Chains A and B, each alone.
Chain A
Amino acid sequence: AQTVTQSQPEMSVQEAETVTLSCTYDTSENNYYLFWYKQPPSRQMILVIRQEAYKQQNATENRFSVNFQKAAKSFSLKISDSQLGDTAMYFCAFMKQTGANNLFFGTGTRLTVIP
C-alpha cells in the first residue's frame, strides 16, 4: 500500500517570502507520479505541479517548484514570492505508474500568507 505523509499541519509565511512544504511517501514501486494540489477556501481542488519519478529534473511551474529526492522518498514544494492568493490547503498525492489512476493523498498542510 502507498502512504503519503505531510508532517506540517499548518505553516505561515510573510508575503513575498519563500516557503517549503514537506511531503514523504512510502512505496515499493519504482515508477510513479507525484502531485501537489491546492485547495483554497473556495474548496476547489487545483493541480499545482506534477512530477514523473523517472525524470531526475525537478518540475517547476512559475513560482512553484519541487525538490524530488527519489532515494529519500521525499517530494517538497517550494513557493517563491508568496502571495496572499497562495493561502490554502496543500495536498501531496501519489499515483502508481501501472494499474488504475488512483491518487493517494496526504493529510494536507494549511498555509497562511501573512500580509
Chain B
Amino acid sequence: NAGVTQTPKFQVLKTGQSMTLQCAQDMNHNSMYWYRQDPGMGLRLIYYSASEGTTDKGEVPNGYNVSRLNKREFSLRLESAAPSQTSVYFCASSAPKGTGDLGYTFGSGTRLTVV
C-alpha cells in the first residue's frame, strides 16, 4: 500500500528554470493538495483539487500551476523558478468528511532549492 507517492525527493533548479512535481495516490481519494513548508511558517496551501476535473487556489498560489490529470494524479508546475520558491513541497490526499478516515495522507515531500 503505497499511499501518496511524490517525485522527485530532491531537486536543485536555477532561477528561471521550470519543473513539474509529480504526485499520485492509490487511496481512491477525491481530494488532493499541494502545500509548501518553510521554517517558522508551518505548511501553507498552494492549490487543491476537491475532485477530478477541478482545481482551486489556496493561500500562496502565485508562481505555480497545477493539473489534476485524473483521480490519482495531481501535479504542480513551476514555470519560472525563483529563489523565493525554495521550500519543501508536500502533496496530500484526503478522505471525505463523515468517514472515519478524515485527515490527510501525505507524500514524503520534495526539497526544492532554487539558486
Which A positions have Cβ atoms within 8 angstroms of B? 4, 9, 33, 35, 42-45, 47, 50, 91, 95, 97, 100-108
Contact = CB atoms under 8 A, between A and B. Distances in A.
B88 interface: yes
B80 to A, nearest CB: 26
A43 B109 contact: yes
Interface stretch (B14-22, B43-51, B69-77): B43-51
A101 B31 contact: yes
B42 A43 contact: no
Given A44-B106, A44-B108, A100-B31, A105 B42 contact: yes
Nearest to B30: A101
Contacts of B97: 33, 97, 101
Given A43-B108, A107-B41, A100 B102 contact: no
A43 B106 CA distance: 10
